[in-house]
Amino acid sequence: MKQLEGTQSSLPDDIALKIASLLEVTDLCALGSCSRFWRSLCGSECIWESLVKERWTSLTLFDESSSSTATKAPISKGWRGFYIKRHKEMAVRVPAVTKFVEKCFPTKSLEVGDYLKAIEELSTMQVGFKDVQMFLFKPKHNVLLNLVGLHYCLSWLEVPGGNIIEALRSSKISERRVCVKWWKLGRWFYGFRMGDESHSRWVSLADLALAKEREVFAVLQRGAIHEVLRVQISVADPTSTPWSCQSAQTQD
């Protein structure tokens, strides 16, 4: 062990730091347990500052012009300590959104108002892309929760679709589907208002991530406003066919 430790400490500091900076958090922590040299290097502020800003890109953490003590807290407490504290906070707060969504769909469907409220709550928490992957992109979760995380990444974090589809496939949920139904106010025809129109469509998470269902995503983004009276997202039944949802669609 002493020989191994001596070999590691003989590495030039810049090379050792470069090696450590390329690792994921779990691998970084594992490397830090190898020796006193690596423990000290893997706890470097510059590494953990980079990890914090990479994971929570929307946070204003190092703004010298800001008078807020919250933005300067990571500097006084240490970036590693801040990372650990915020990770624990996310592990508690994001599941709270999960519980809220689960309470809203006892009949395996979710109204768009509750859906958008869950997404807004993630934004208020300043949840990062990796948080979504850790806590929402899970096969054990209902697909509606997967969809909430997907929509948040696209609309609030503006994560590129390619990155999102890679995360969906890694979690083995990219082909999961939902049925989006919306009702529109009937059009006027020669002084008479026609009957209200209903539309519905099966969509996969992958199609939404790759912008193949722009109309459906636009409906989810706007919610029930203007001519749209109601929007409902239902859990896809694996025994159903896409036609069972689309057969109720009213032609424009």
Length of the chain: 252
Joined together, the tokens standing for residue 93 give 């707060």
How confident is the model over 190-212, as a mean pLDDT? 86
How confident is the model over 147-156, as a mean pLDDT? 96
- Its sign, for the CA torsion 9, 15, 19, 20, is positive
SS3 for 107? coil
Please state, in angstroms and rounded to a whole number, the distance separating the CA atoms of residues 94 and 217.
23
CATH topology classification for 2-83:
Monooxygenase (1.20.1280)
pLDDT bin (cut points 50, 70, 90) of residue 186 is low
Q: CB-based burial of residue 144 (10 Å sphere; 0-12 exposed, 13-18 middle, 19+ buried)?
A: buried
Please state, in angstroms and rounded to a whole number, the distance separating the CA atoms of residues 130 and 188.
47
Q: Enumerate the CATH 1.20.1280.50 domain ranges in the chain, comma separated.
A: 2-83
Assess contact for 55 and 131: CB atoms under 8 A: yes
Least confident interval from 74-78, 110-114, 129-133: 74-78
Res 242: pLDDT: 45
Q: In terms of pLDDT, which residue wins out, 16 or 166?
A: 166
Residue among 45, 42, 38 at smallest CA distance from 78: 45
Res 13: pLDDT: 83
**Is residue 74 predicted with pLDDT exceeding 60?**
no
**Is residue 63 predicted with pLDDT exceeding 60?**
no
Q: In terms of pLDDT, which residue wins out, 6 or 171?
A: 171
Measured CA to CA in angstroms, residue 156 lies from 5, 86, 183 at distances of 46, 20, 26
Least confident interval from 6-10, 14-18, 175-179: 6-10
Res 152: pLDDT: 97
Please state, in angstroms and rounded to a whole number, the distance separating the CA atoms of residues 62 and 60.
6
Q: In terms of pLDDT, which residue wins out, 144 or 187?
A: 144
pLDDT bin (cut points 50, 70, 90) of residue 252 is very low
Res 188: pLDDT: 66
Please state, in angstroms and rounded to a whole number, the distance separating the CA atoms of residues 146 and 136.
6
Of the spans 10-14, 61-65, 128-132, which averages the highest pLDDT?
128-132
Categorise residue 96: left if φ over 0, alpha if ψ from -120 to 50, beta otherwise.
Answer: alpha
pLDDT bin (cut points 50, 70, 90) of residue 122 is very high
Q: What is the mean pLDDT of the chain?
A: 83
**Is residue 148 predicted with pLDDT exceeding 90?**
yes
How confident is the model over 181-203, as a mean pLDDT? 80
Least confident interval from 50-59, 200-209, 231-240: 231-240
